[in-house]
Amino acid sequence: MATLEIECPVCAELLELSDQDRAELQAGDVIVCDSCNAEMEITRNGGGEDFELELLGILTTCPNCGEEFEVTEELLATAPTVESSDGHEVSLVTCPHCNAGIELEFEDDSEPGALSSQ
């Protein structure tokens, strides 16, 4: 059975959709990345490689108040990036419920073996 592999636009995790999965999906449906909870809307689902997604947002749970909120691409684009205590670059977003600043980190260059032993 043919399986379509989609790279998550947020964390680059490969999401696999079988023919059966795709038969049940249609434009307008939303799929969620297992790895980072990003929500993606299907904008095209023809056949073969005819498949397109649009990133909607990432569902995040606020560590401060425990409420869930959605981090959209737009929000990330305007979020300032800061350096976390361990030297990683993180995006600083604000919880819409309690206004706490939350650091979001996306591992987009975590190649296997890239962890250098210094």
Residues binding Zn ion (CB under 5 A) = 8, 10-11, 13, 33, 35-36, 38, 62, 64-65, 95, 97-98, 100
DSSP class of residue 27 equals T
Helices in the chain by DSSP H: which ranges? 19-24, 73-78
Of 86, 115, 55, the closest CA to residue 105 belongs to: 86
Q: Which is nearer to Zn ion, 27 or 98 (CB)?
A: 98
Shortest distance (Å) from residue 35 CB to Zn ion:
4
- The answer to whether the CB of 93 falls within 8 A of the CB of 79 is yes
Between 26 and 61, whose beta carbon lies closer to Zn ion?
61
Name the residue nearer to Zn ion (CB basis): 90 or 95: 95
Residue 117 Cβ, how far from Zn ion at the closest point, in Å? Answer: 28
Strand pairing report for 30-32 and 38-45 = antiparallel
Taking the complex as a whole, the smallest distance from the CB of residue 11 to Zn ion amounts, in Å, to 3
